[in-house]
Amino acid sequence: MSKKYYLDTSIRLDLFEERDEPGLPKSILAERLITKIIAEEGAIIYSMAVLDELSAIGYPRQELNLMFRPFRRILTFAECNKNTFGKAKDLAAKRDVPLFDAIHALIARENRTVLVTRDAHFNKLKDIVIVKKPEEIS
């Protein structure tokens, strides 16, 4: 069985925008992770929440299609139904995390994936989903 990963929007931005920091080559680490997933014939799960979050910060849908195209072989779309959205709203309020983060966590859990992120908000959700940084995946 191949491994499945749900990449938080921040990891995608690290890759697409080369958001490196001194001593932390985030884009290289994200690229290595994707290379590993491809080599192991794994899958990257994504949802409309990822697309909506990227759109909200200014990425047009056409540009997103181009950005995701090189990875289409390993991409799998996961729906966020009304039930999941309702649970996410409740979770976001109870745990004091952004709604999109709660949605990402629940979709990752429902699809039995590892949620890959650097976002500290997910520390509040580690009891419901496996959370790792790109460099922690071996």
Per-residue tens of pLDDT for the chain, all 138 residues: 569 999 999 998 998 888 999 999 999 999 999 999 999 999 999 999 999 999 999 999 888 888 888 888 899 999 989 999 999 999 999 999 999 999 999 999 999 999 999 999 999 999 999 999 999 996
Burial class (CB in 10 A: 0-12, 13-18, 19+), 25: middle
Give me the CATH number covering residue 41: 3.40.50.1010
In which domain, by residue range, is 126 found?
4-136
Mapped onto helix, strand or coil, the DSSP state of residue 3 is coil
Residue 73: partners with Cβ closer than 8 Å, 6 or more residues away: 38
Strand order in the sheet with 131-132: 75-78, 43-47, 4-7, 114-116, 131-132
Is the pTM higher than 0.85? yes
- What sign results for the dihedral spanned by CA atoms 44, 32, 123, 51? negative
Total structural domains in the chain? 1
